[in-house]
Structure formats: structure tokens, C-alpha cells
Amino acid sequence: MSQTPPEVLKSSTIAAELADRLTISREQDAFRLELRGRSGDGAAGMVKREELQRILQMLHGVVAQAGWLAAPGAGRPAAAAMPSDSKPARH
């Protein structure tokens, strides 16, 4: 994968939006990837099976490197689920 030149990134910064939804669907011998943002704008493209596998491998590597994966069986701590300043419920 090639690195995008900085001037290209700067020119699209104003219109940039994080993807809110990713849809992957099969179409004949390829896969259609569709990214949509909250505004409804998006982009779509077709990739071969091998390309999709490579994209998913790269994504998994970045997610693991960033520490976004939780260990299996490790859920959120119960204390984090409730704000500390909340009052206990009385029944």
C-alpha cells in the first residue's frame, strides 16, 4: 500500500468524516465495500476475495497495535458502567 502525499490529505481535510457504517456484500466473484458517514455521504468499491482478506488482516493488525482489543472474557469493570455520583435505587 502506498502512502498518501500530505498535499492530498490537506485538500480533503475540510470534508473529512469518520465512517459510521461499513457494509460488505458479495456480488458475483467480488465483494462490495461501502463506507457511510453520519451525513449519509460515503464511498464504495469492489475488491477481490484476496484483497478483502488482506484489508481485514491489516485492520486487525492496526487494532491490535492500538490496544483496542479486549482479552477474551474480560468485560468492562462494573464500576465503569455506573457513574460514581449516582444514587443507589431503593425499592
Burial class (CB in 10 A: 0-12, 13-18, 19+), 30: middle
pLDDT at 68: 85
d(CA 35, CA 74): 30
pLDDT digits (tens, 9 = 90+) for 39-60: 888 999 999 999 999 999 999 9
- The ranges of the chain with pLDDT < 70 are 1, 71-91
Domain-wise residue ranges, the chain:
17-65
The DSSP secondary structure of 44-71, one letter per residue, reads: EEEE-HHHHHHHHHHHHHHHHHHT-PPP
Q: How far is CA 19 from CA 11, 16, 22, 38, 57, in A?
A: 18, 9, 7, 8, 19
The radius of gyration of the chain's CA atoms, rounded to the nearest angstrom, is 20
Instruction: State pTM to two decimals.
Output: 0.57
